[in-house]
Amino acid sequence: MENYIINKPLLLAPMAEISHRALRELIVSFGGCDEYYTEMISAGALLGGGPFEAYYTDGGPCPDRVVYQLAGTSGEQLAAAAAVLDRKEKAGIDINMGCSAPAIVRTGAGVRWMDSPDRAGEMIRRVRRGIKGRLSVKLRTGPADDPEYLIRFCKRLESEGVERITLHPRTAKEKFKRRARWEYVGLLRGALGIPVAGNGDIDSAEDLVRRAAGDCDGVMIGRLAVRAPWIFAQVRGPVLPAGPETARAPAIFPETVNLEEIALRFLELLEQYQPREFHLSRARRFFTYFCDNLLWGTYLKTLLAREQELSAMARLLSAYFREHPEQRDLPVSQGR
Ligand SMILES: Cc1cc2nc3c(=O)[nH]c(=O)nc-3n(C[C@H](O)[C@H](O)[C@H](O)COP(=O)(O)O)c2cc1C
């Protein structure tokens, strides 16, 4: 397998029910990435002392590389929640202005912030005033496909003290429809003085290398990092403990990965690091993407979704690989 050197920061995307400690542990076991965004943390639940907040704010196993992402509906709430997270060891705090899930948007959170530069700017000012750590925002193109609006909006965020932006260049309504418009990443980068990372639709190591070589200050990976938690190490080699700006020598990366071993290890990590109440939902989310490595992955996903215990999922996975041993070792260069 050919190795590459990429000097730009490689980031794990925030993904609800996916970007938690167990996934980070798995990614770190292959060599890690530069920064790990957490799944969005509800500012309201954090302030209200919800029963599972300790899990959402567990920064292990590399707390200094974790970016805590907050979702919330008001400046007051987000500023208070950011101040709580600011006391933790971390790489930064991120505000979610990109989530387009109806349940989030309805409350005025997520991409709804992009409707009004004034409302968003005032919120950022409040958050900024209350924290010492790095403040970033992850967003979409905005309510419409209007790059001028996007630039105006982001300039306002920059003037209020946002230090980094990650752009997932789709409009609020597009969900995963159409291709992400990566040309907007370069456009935004040229208009701002702060770093702009790009995100969206990276589907292979070759894609990742191509995007990283393009007009952006960093690359964020979502779904591919679940299907292929080795992807960061595959393109660059182990990045721990070196810093994000350090050029790294390519590592010797294995030609194949053992999918059964990875799947079972993930279940063990879930058991170790997530509360029982989260086990099934988190396992199903993970396998939604991980099973795409397998020829009969869609069928396996359906079977896994019926199980009510992680141990039963483990038995099912082992049975699958007993039946299809030729699918156990995946040549990484041929990841489907
Ligand atoms: C299951 C799932 C959950 C997501 N949750 C979040 C989230 O909590 N916060 C956020 O900013 N984006 C969230 N996203 C969007 C991703 O961070 C990312 O922008 C999107 O998946 C595009 O990147 P990709 O093509 O590399 O997956 C989520 C995406 C998925 C698939």
Question: Distance between CA atoms of 210 and 245, rounded to whole angstroms?
Answer: 19
Q: Whose CA is nearest to atom 29 of ligand 1?
A: 15
Q: Work out the pLDDT band at 336, boundaries 50, 70, 90.
A: very low
The verdict on 171 and 303 lying in the same domain is no
Last residue of a domain, one of 236, 265, 288: 236
- The per-residue pLDDT for range 288-315, each reduced to its tens digit, is 999 999 999 999 999 999 999 999 999 9
- The per-residue pLDDT for range 232-259, each reduced to its tens digit, is 988 886 554 444 433 444 456 778 999 9
Question: Distance between CA atoms of 30 and 18, rounded to whole angstroms?
Answer: 17
Rounded distance from Cα 10 to ligand 1 centre (Å): 15
The verdict on 82 and 186 lying in the same domain is yes
Query: What pLDDT, on the 0 to 100 scale, is given for residue 274?
Result: 98
- For residue 202 and ligand 1, the question of a CB distance below 6 A is answered with yes
Single-letter amino acid, residue 221: I
The verdict on 75 and 204 lying in the same domain is yes
**What is the SS3 assignment for 166?**
strand
- The per-residue pLDDT for range 105-155, each reduced to its tens digit, is 999 999 999 999 999 999 999 999 999 999 999 999 999 999 999 999 999
- For residue 200 and ligand 1, the question of a CB distance below 6 A is answered with yes
pTM, to two decimals: 0.95
Closest CA to 188 of 252, 127, 138: 138
- Count structural domains, the chain: 2
Tell me if 2 is assigned to some domain.
Answer: no
The verdict on 198 and 308 lying in the same domain is no
- CATH classification at residue 64: 3.20.20.70
Which residues carry out catalysis? Answer: 99
Instruction: With a cut of 60, say whether residue 331 has pLDDT above it.
Output: yes
The verdict on 174 and 294 lying in the same domain is no
- The per-residue pLDDT for range 163-196, each reduced to its tens digit, is 999 999 999 999 888 899 999 999 999 999 999 9
- For residue 237 and ligand 1, the question of a CB distance below 6 A is answered with no
Residue of 15, 104, 182 best suited for mutating to test ligand 1, as the one with most atoms within 8 Å of CB = 15
Structure tokens at 43: 């500012």
- For residue 199 and ligand 1, the question of a CB distance below 6 A is answered with yes
Instruction: With a cut of 50, say whether residue 328 has pLDDT above it.
Output: yes
Q: What domain range includes position 52? A: 10-236
The verdict on 182 and 294 lying in the same domain is no
The verdict on 55 and 100 lying in the same domain is yes
The verdict on 125 and 196 lying in the same domain is yes
Which atom from ligand 1 is nearest to the alpha carbon of 201? 25
